[in-house]
Chains A and B, each alone.
Chain A
Amino acid sequence: MDPSRKRAIRLTVALTAAVVLAAALVYVSFTAGNKEFTASQLLTKGKPGQTYELAGTVLNGSVQRDGTTLYFRIRDPKLPVSVPVRYNGIVPDPFAAGRAVMVAVEKGNSGTTYVGQGNSLTTKCPSKYQAAAAS
């Protein structure tokens, strides 16, 4: 086989592999991903049985513990609404009322409390790069 044909074959194989990888990546991202919703979006557009990524700030005074279960509410950044969450799993150290968090939640069939998926709670490090007064 002459060299230029060998090169053409190698190039084709490489490109095919790259396309397959890219396609797999795109597929996984769109199917394994959770839509990121704010509290108000969850209340209006959330479907029961679906998992969403809920981002927002923990409502002051809403944090309660019962054994290993954590209860809190997440408020919407703009509208005066909040969503109740029941969470079992690792709670990061910086978690507190007034901090920005993200948690994967599933809308319960009864539609009221949202069940946090285990170990999905992440808290933003208390802002180092904002004036302390604002945090």
Chain B
Amino acid sequence: MALIGRALLIMALGTAVCGIGASIYGARTGMREWVDAGRRSVYALAALATIAFAILEDAFWRNDFSFNVVANHSSTTTPAFYKLAAAWSSQEGSLLLWVFLLSLWSSLILFLVRKRAREITPYATTVLLGFAAFFTSLAAFWANPFTTSANPPAEGLGLDPLLLHPTMMIHPPMLYSGYTLLTIPFAFAVGALITGRLGAEWIALTRRFALAAWLFLGIGILLGALWSYTELGWGGYWAWDPVENAALMPWLCITAFIHSVMIQEKRGMLKVWNVSLVLAAGTLSILGTFLVRSGILDSIHAFGASTLGVPFVILLAVMVLGSIGLIVWRRDQLRSDARLESLLSREAVFLLQNLVLVGMVFVIFWVTFFPLISEALTGTKVSVGPPAFTPFIVPLALILVALSGIGPIIAWRRVTVANLRRSFALPVTAGLVTFFVLLFWPGGPSSRPFALIMFALGGFVLTSVAQELWRGVAARRATTHEVVPLATVRLVRRNRRRYGGYTVHAGLAILLVGVAASSSFQHSSDVILKPGQSAHVDGYAIRYVRPTESLSSQKIAFGAVLDVTKGGKHVTTVTTVRNFYPSQNPSDGLIGKFFDTSQADSQVGLDQNLSRNIWTVINVDPTPLAPLINKGNNVFAAYAPQVMTKAAKLPPDQAQAAMNGLWAERDLAVSEIARRFVTHPWPTEFLLIVDPLVIWIWLGALIMGIGGLIALWPVPSFARRRVQVASPARPAAPPPPVPVREPV
């Protein structure tokens, strides 16, 4: 099977290269059949990648340890779901996943546009196949997932316990989908620049793809934050780690693009901005893929120096220089058709939004890469931590939220002061009321001015979105006289982009309010408690009720039951656990391997509600058990060889029984030792955090996702137009009349 896998990779590379040749030839000569062949090679590539990926997954499923990746990342005791997901926890498997997802999305997109954009598509196909060829050759020649060993081990090394979490396994495919989806608008932008066709059709196509990429990448980022908060033992959701930043930067670029492209559509402005944003987003997504696996930046993710660095740097250099070259070459076609008329207009707001978002990207890029920049300039690596980000990102974020509230209620081209008064009165009042109420609220947020401003802006944005929705419904009902719910649904359906976008803005406001609250008003306590003792955090009394211990074939779980009260009244009970997974290190000893702290992860005890989170984690140190563990190690170190020698002389089934007896005794010893955590508990360390409004972050992100889906959902007229284009040439039909006032 591995042989087939290796052959498939070579075939995939060959297909990609042939496809590039066919597409370019077809584009230059205008021969449709060569362009079709190029598109078909993308479909073929998808088929080959799918089969290859299926072979890999099958190997994981069957515990085929002759495959090196399976032996290194899975084991017979790994749960089924995680076995399949282990396929992409390795460098080799993740490269194959990248090719698989890229070819799948490319096939889908090229199928959907097969009858349109006939000039641009062959070049876009070339670019996409170029990426595919790059990643496939990395997989085929540098990090092949189908390498085998002649003497497969009996058991694999298993998956790192930190990854045994559902969100952590969905996070890579989501993130990769986002990254690969970003290559599609990139490819179409390159195609548009090469052919000089930067008109309405290019915009219509690219915006859809960009929105899909925005959605998937956003989900990937959110899942990473969620995992960090609920699984890692530090109680945070965002650390400005280089790899987190690497995913955020393209997302910000594509957010800017989605807005700014509306200006190009309506007024023919910001053309250079738009192509630059798309090309930057694509480049940053490749950069992000590179950062995770190169080790050039110190990050919790940078998985060691690997030899893949050089090819990626070359690819990135080609992308950057190529992008700049293309834009300079086509600068005549990129001249604006119109000029900004007034600073009090939606156009101006969009332009400002571009500047703010790009500003954020620049700040993040600079601070993330500063160690390398400083090393290049001064010879010493200087690392700048999260504190460097906040003075810049916080004000920029505040401006961004403000703009997201102003944008929906300000009109195009120019506004009059009277209109401003009519549209802004209610939202601004709401914002001011929120501000002053919170300012004078006893024990409220007045101590943190930035958070206070963010709350006020949240009120402003939510009111502006609600006002817009209300007025739209009223306008529709004026002509259709429908009931409110029906009118709302129909209004949103007829104006998906507008109201989808407004929903995203509302979600963003809620999310950032949650971020502001949870980062400004967090209370935490790092304490050592004995059973029965309490700690006090932000008015809550958290009592260590009793220790817990449980054993399974996969792990030992030491935990605690914590009782939370406030003002004497019971609030909640949470359980937090520290799981110890057996290590493969023989020097740990036959008993000690089950108590290795380097193979441990935490299960957070969490109580979430709309107003606050109570986050608890236990950090069990098994050192008090050391005397017993050492004794056990010594006993079994002597005993086990005796049993094994005896068993070697017995017939197979009796030998098996003898070995089973040995392991049963070992397990009994382990469980007796583990039990002591409950029978003879020792003072244990806890990290306790009370955090307001955290759930608003997840809710806000969910609302943003829903808004994105609404905006992305295909409009029926899309289908209608496809039919018109596909029909053969016929005598010119009278042009459809310009629509009379329809219901909105």
Please state if A68 and B339 are interface contacts (CB–CB under 8 Å): no
Interface string of A97-108 (1 = CB under 8 A from B): 111001010000
**Given A122-B300, A130-B304, A130-B306, A3:B339 Cβ within 8 A:** yes
Q: Tell which of A35, A127, A129 touches B380, judged by Cβ atoms closer than 8 Å.
A: A35
**Given A127-B303, A129-B306, A92:B528 Cβ within 8 A:** no
Would you list 21 pairs from A and B whose C-beta atoms are within 8 A, ordered by A residue? Answer: A21-B362, A22-B362, A24-B392, A25-B363, A25-B366, A33-B388, A35-B381, A68-B527, A68-B685, A90-B526, A92-B232, A92-B233, A93-B600, A95-B598, A96-B597, A120-B385, A124-B299, A125-B301, A127-B303, A128-B90, A129-B293
Please state if A125 and B355 are interface contacts (CB–CB under 8 Å): no
Q: Is the C-beta of B659 less than 8 angstroms from some C-beta in chain A?
A: no
Please state if B90 and A129 are interface contacts (CB–CB under 8 Å): yes
Number of chain B interface residues as a range:
35 or more
Please state if A33 and B383 are interface contacts (CB–CB under 8 Å): yes
Interface string of B546-564 (1 = CB under 8 A from A): 0000000000000000000
Q: Is the C-beta of B691 less than 8 angstroms from some C-beta in chain A?
A: no
Number of chain A interface residues as a range:
35 or more
Complex Cα gap A67–B366 (Å): 39
Please state if B382 and A33 are interface contacts (CB–CB under 8 Å): yes
Please state if B234 and A124 are interface contacts (CB–CB under 8 Å): no
Complex Cα gap A10–B184 (Å): 34
Q: Is the C-beta of B76 less than 8 angstroms from some C-beta in chain A?
A: no
Please state if B388 and A67 are interface contacts (CB–CB under 8 Å): no
Please state if A29 and B366 are interface contacts (CB–CB under 8 Å): yes
Q: Which of B219-247 contact A (CB under 8 A)?
A: 232-235
Please state if A93 and B232 are interface contacts (CB–CB under 8 Å): yes
Q: Tell which of B339, B370, B392 touches A33, judged by Cβ atoms closer than 8 Å.
A: B370
Complex Cα gap A9–B339 (Å): 14
Q: Tell which of B301, B302, B359, B367 touches A21, judged by Cβ atoms closer than 8 Å.
A: B359
Residues of A within 8 A of B621 (CB): 65
**Given A21-B359, A65-B621, A124:B300 Cβ within 8 A:** yes
Complex Cα gap A127–B90 (Å): 9
Q: Is the C-beta of A132 less than 8 angstroms from some C-beta in chain B?
A: yes
Please state if A7 and B383 are interface contacts (CB–CB under 8 Å): no
Please state if A126 and B382 are interface contacts (CB–CB under 8 Å): no
Closest-CB distance, A1 to chain B (whole angstroms): 12
Closest-CB distance, B394 to chain A (whole angstroms): 13
Please state if B598 and A97 are interface contacts (CB–CB under 8 Å): yes
Q: Is the C-beta of A12 less than 8 angstroms from some C-beta in chain B?
A: no
Interface string of B73-110 (1 = CB under 8 A from A): 10000000000000001110000000000000000000
Residues of B within 8 A of A3 (CB): 339
Q: Which of B376-416 contact A (CB under 8 A)?
A: 380-385, 387-388, 391-392
Complex Cα gap A119–B257 (Å): 37
Q: Is the C-beta of A8 less than 8 angstroms from some C-beta in chain B?
A: no
Residues of A within 8 A of B608 (CB): none
**Given A7-B339, A32-B387, A36-B371, A128:B300 Cβ within 8 A:** no
Complex Cα gap A24–B391 (Å): 10
Please state if A89 and B597 are interface contacts (CB–CB under 8 Å): no
Closest-CB distance, B499 to chain A (whole angstroms): 32
Which B residues form the contact surface with A (CB < 8 A)? Answer: 72-73, 89-91, 157, 160, 162-163, 232-235, 293, 298-304, 306, 339-340, 343, 355, 359, 362-363, 366-367, 370-371, 374, 380-385, 387-388, 391-392, 526-528, 596-598, 600-602, 619, 621, 623, 685, 687
Closest-CB distance, B303 to chain A (whole angstroms): 4
Please state if A128 and B160 are interface contacts (CB–CB under 8 Å): yes
Complex Cα gap A128–B355 (Å): 38
Complex Cα gap A129–B618 (Å): 29
Closest-CB distance, B594 to chain A (whole angstroms): 15
Closest-CB distance, B662 to chain A (whole angstroms): 26
Q: Tell which of A32, A91, A102, A130 touches B298, judged by Cβ atoms closer than 8 Å.
A: A102
Complex Cα gap A14–B367 (Å): 22
Nearest-neighbor residue (CB-CB) of A63 within chain B: B597
Residues of B within 8 A of A92 (CB): 232-234, 300
Residues of A within 8 A of B384 (CB): 28-29, 32-34
Please state if B374 and A93 are interface contacts (CB–CB under 8 Å): no
Please state if B72 and A131 are interface contacts (CB–CB under 8 Å): yes
Nearest-neighbor residue (CB-CB) of B384 within chain A: A33
Closest-CB distance, A11 to chain B (whole angstroms): 11
Q: Tell which of B89, B339, B366, B526 touches A128, judged by Cβ atoms closer than 8 Å.
A: B89
Given contacts A93-B232, A96-B596, A124-B301, 14 further A-B contacts (CB under 8 A): A30-B374, A32-B387, A33-B370, A34-B383, A35-B382, A36-B371, A90-B234, A90-B687, A102-B383, A119-B234, A124-B303, A125-B303, A128-B163, A130-B303
Complex Cα gap A99–B160 (Å): 14
Please state if A124 and B383 are interface contacts (CB–CB under 8 Å): no
Nearest-neighbor residue (CB-CB) of A99 within chain B: B598
Closest-CB distance, A18 to chain B (whole angstroms): 8
Residues of A within 8 A of B362 (CB): 21-22, 25
Residues of B within 8 A of A98 (CB): 598
Residues of B within 8 A of A14 (CB): 355
Complex Cα gap A104–B163 (Å): 27
Complex Cα gap A119–B233 (Å): 12
